[in-house]
Amino acid sequence: MMRALILGGTADANSLAAVVSRAGIDAIYSYGGRTHAPAEQPLPTRIGGFGGVSSLADYLRRERITHVIDATHPFAAEMSRNAIAACTQTATPLLALERAPWDKTPGDRWIEVADVAAAVVALPENPARVFLAIGRQHIAPFGTRPQHAYTLRFVDPSAETLPLPDADVIVSRGPFTLEGELETLRARHIEWIVARNSGGTGARAKLDAARALGLPVIMITRPPLPDRPRVDSVSQVMEWLGHRTCLGA
């Protein structure tokens, strides 16, 4: 009997959950527990880590999971690596639902870097107004560049003091619009943007706004992941789940 685990936390995972639920497939949606009030899902939902590879393998056995869909974010590399290891250990079929990276288009002023450390080095020496649109987990490395005036954007308000002397936080969970991003960049006189190549539509607007305003974007490329079967659409996942036969069953 089919039972799917959706490793979620993205817009794509939410789209998949809606289709899986409508198809009447027995499935569980999993959040990592990063945000205070994640979006409701039309499926039974679990929140929090599994406790590493072996605990995830135990979970797959205990819950009799027959298919795992890794619909996490391209930068959720540890979760993706753990899913590959646990599915290999338990011989559970795994498929990644992964949106394509954004491609540079004419007019984009991108400086592509490999990771956050390289993004810090890519910033100018002279004080500048920098929009760090990379969430809350990777702010500390910018503490070595205190001369800049930073604008940060978090999903939830942050209680901790920031490791940056001049930082202003926007609390917003996205998805974001071109109008909203243009307003943010203009109102805060942003001169540089730091972004991760998430792909998808939820965070793309800041790049279109940057292009419209002629602003440079330091673009962090995705972490490398081991090979695993991968698709970029919900319909391909449903085919993989043998959706039609499910309805016929």
Binding site for ligand NAP (CB under 6 A): 7-10, 30-32, 34, 49-52, 56, 72-73, 75-79, 82, 135
- Each residue 186-205 as x (binds ligand 3Y8 by CB under 6 A) or -, in order, gives ----------x-x-x-xx--
User: Residues in contact with ligand 3Y8, total (CB under 6 A)?
Assistant: 32
Name the residue nearer to ligand 3Y8 (CB basis): 38 or 216.
38
The reply to whether 110 sits near ligand 3Y8 by the rule CB under 6 A is: no
CB of 144 to ligand NAP, least distance (A): 21
Name the residue nearer to ligand 3Y8 (CB basis): 169 or 246.
169
The reply to whether 31 sits near ligand 3Y8 by the rule CB under 6 A is: yes
CB of 249 to ligand 3Y8, least distance (A): 31
The residue of the chain with the least Cβ separation from ligand 3Y8 equals: 135
* Residue of 154, 162, 178, 222 interacting with ligand 3Y8 (CB under 6 A): 154
Name the residue nearer to ligand 3Y8 (CB basis): 202 or 242.
202
202 binds, among ligand 3Y8, ligand NAP, none (CB under 5 to 8 A by kind): ligand 3Y8
The reply to whether 28 sits near ligand 3Y8 by the rule CB under 6 A is: no
Q: Which are the contacts of 22, defined by CB distance < 8 A and separation ≥ 6?
A: 42
Give yes or no for a contact between 14 and 39, defined as CB atoms under 8 angstroms apart: yes
Q: DSSP string of the chain?
A: ---EEEE--SHHHHHHHHHHHHTT--EEEEE-S-SSSPPP-SS-EEES--SSHHHHHHHHHHTT--EEEE-S-TT-HHHHHHHHHHHHHHT--EEEE-PPPPPP-TT-EEEEESSHHHHHHHS-SS--EEEE-S-STT-GGGGG-TTSEEEEEESS---SPPS-SSEEEEE------HHHHHHHHHHTT--EEEEE---SSTTTHHHHHHHHHT-EEEEEPPPP-----EESSHHHHHHHTTHHHHHH-
Where do contacts with ligand 3Y8 occur on this chain (CB under 6 A)? 9-11, 14, 31-35, 38-39, 73, 133-138, 153-156, 173-176, 196, 198, 200, 202-203, 206
